[in-house]
Amino acid sequence: MINNEANLLSPFTFANGVQLKNRIVMAPMTNFSSHPDGTVTEAEVNYYARRSKGVSMVITACTYVTPNGKGFHGEFAGDRDEMIPSLRQLAKGIKDQGAKAVLQIFHGGRMCPPELVPNGEIVSASDIPAENQDVKPRALTEVEAEEIIQAFGETTRRAIEAGYDGVEIHGANGYLIQQFFSPHSNRREDRFGGSIEKRMTFPLAIVDTVMSVVKEHAKTPFIVGYRFSPEEPETPGITMADTLTLVDALANKGLDYLHVSLSEFFSKPRRGVDDVNKSRIDYLLETINNRVPLIGVGSIYTAEDARKAFATGVPLLAIGRELIIDPDWVQKVAEGREDEIVTKIDKDKQEQLVVPDPLWKAIIHSPGWFPGI
């Protein structure tokens, strides 16, 4: 870990020996821009390449591990070996610019649009619909849950074969892995449900499977990270206390990093802890206690925002929307041109910013998502 005055552009080395050239990572963001068959588009590769020069590591948008896990229109696929050339194209686009390429792997569970999955059948841990959604998912059988766990391993093997430097297991943002951990979406009475320990069975089994695949197939050190959301608004739902229990278990798994999903870096817990004035990041760092690096994230736009975030003790920082607004953010900080950093999206600069049409339309038509819209 690093001290409070750490230079955000200093190198960082994971426990497995992989070195990052600085502490700034591109956060995973859905871009809606792949072909309908799940292969990446040229526009998508160009978008990533444009943002891969300054940052040390790029975490891609999520890629689905089974056909019934596709969560977004225009999402790229990792569910079959035929996708390896497509995945390789994206990894090369990122790595050629000097950043490490990390493939985020996921299953959408009950959040998948019915029109994107076979027979329109939505699956989850239990048959509980998401709040404000009418679609009732079908509860996965134990055998099916096991098959999905193995599918995460198979997609990891494909990532290795496609030349990625690592994978990030997407256990955040209400998707299937989180659905198994959440008391809202998991009402099972088998080994995958019930107590918090049983609700951790599915996520921890995925971690174990991915790690064993890496051990078997990776010829060089390969990064494995895990992303999580600290709380859910629903009752029952994941509390900060639940997440600290999960994080405590994850911190002992030999992962290369944990990555919290936050919209605001300094946000405070909603419930489940004594001191709600202490930030979620502070609670997480305290629980992790230097066992594994934590990537922080959430509305970091200026270099000063980044410095304040690093002052908490996080060793790595992910930046998302700001790298769409200003792909040269890291270079400007490195060259002492912080005052030139752009923090509001310029609606007239889609071409210069190299943003694919579907993502640009989503940004322009979502007031409040990006500063300047």
- Dump pLDDT digits (tens) for 72-103: 999 999 999 999 999 999 999 999 999 999 99
φ/ψ (deg, to 5) at 98: 100, 5
Contact 118, 139 (CB under 8 A): no
Q: Is 156 helix (H, G, I), strand (E, B) or coil?
A: helix
- C-beta of residue 152 within 8 angstroms of C-beta of residue 169: yes
Domains and CATH numbers, the chain: 12-340 (3.20.20.70)
Cα 74 from Cα 61, distance rounded (Å): 11
| Percent of the chain residues topping a pLDDT of 90 | 97
Question: 0.95 exceeded by the pTM?
Answer: yes
Q: What are 31-43's pLDDT values in tens digits? A: 999 999 999 999 9
- pLDDT (average), residues 331-351: 96
- Phi/psi at 6 (nearest 5 deg)? -55, 145
pLDDT recorded at residue 3: 38
- Residue 231 DSSP label: -
Number of CB atoms found within 10 A of residue 173's CB: 18
Distance CA 190, CA 131 (A): 24
Q: How much is the average pLDDT of 274-300?
A: 97
7: confidence class by pLDDT, cuts 50, 70, 90: confident
Cis previous bond, 236, omega within 30 = yes
| Cα gap 135→123, rounded to integer Å | 10
Query: Are 123 and 138 in contact, with CB atoms under 8 Å apart?
Result: yes
Each residue's pLDDT tens digit, 213-241: 999 999 999 999 999 999 999 999 999 99
Give residue 341's region: left, alpha or beta (phi > 0; psi -120 to 50): beta
Strands 223-228 and 19-20: unpaired
Burial of 296 (0-12, 13-18, 19+ CB in 10 A): buried
In angstroms, rounded to a whole number, what is the distance separating the alpha carbons of residues 324 and 347? Answer: 12
Q: Which residues are catalytic?
A: 175
For the ranges 1-10, 148-157, 272-281, 297-306, which has the lowest average pLDDT?
1-10
pLDDT tens, residue by residue, 168-191: 999 999 999 999 999 999 999 999
Given a cut of 70, whether residue 109 has pLDDT beyond it is yes
Rounded to 5 degrees, φ, ψ at 107 are: -135, 130
pLDDT of residue 117: 98
What value does the mean pLDDT take over residues 40-60? 98
Rounded to an integer, what distance in angstroms lies between the CA atom of residue 343 and that of residue 8?
A: 19
> What local confidence, expressed as pLDDT, does residue 132 receive?
87
Q: Parallel, antiparallel, or unpaired: how do β-strands 166-171 and 223-228 relate?
A: parallel
Helical segments of the chain, H only: 42-50, 84-95, 142-161, 176-181, 196-199, 201-217, 240-250, 280-288, 303-310, 321-325, 329-334, 350-353, 357-364
